[in-house]
Amino acid sequence: MSEYQLEFTWRSKCNTDALVSAIAEYYPQALKADGFDTCIIGYTTEGRIVYSIDMILATLVDKQGMTADESVEFFEFNIACAYMGDYTPIYMYTE
């Protein structure tokens, strides 16, 4: 792993930890998608967590061993369509 990759990984982890902490402090009622904390890109003033779809798909491919097509299908049928009430997370494309 290059020095740049290590620095990016460290910064990403710090940003993720800061976001997760802020959400827990200010919006304890917010609902999270299990296993995708690193895909959080923000939160709304109503307390809904915002996830990057592109990062979720990459996580499914990298950590679950899915193909790109399998990750899209899994996301659409198991994550994106799950409605859990007023605090259901928001999923948005970032690339």
Distances 14 to 6, 48, 62, 76, 84 between C-alpha atoms, Å:
12, 20, 20, 29, 28
- Mean pLDDT in each 10-residue stretch from start to end of the chain (95 residues)? 43 75 94 94 94 96 95 97 95 89
Which is it for strands 90-92 and 49-52: parallel, antiparallel or unpaired? parallel
pTM for the structure as a whole: 0.82
- pLDDT averaged over every residue in the chain: 87
pLDDT tens track for 28-54: 999 999 999 999 999 999 999 999 999
Per-residue pLDDT at 16: 85
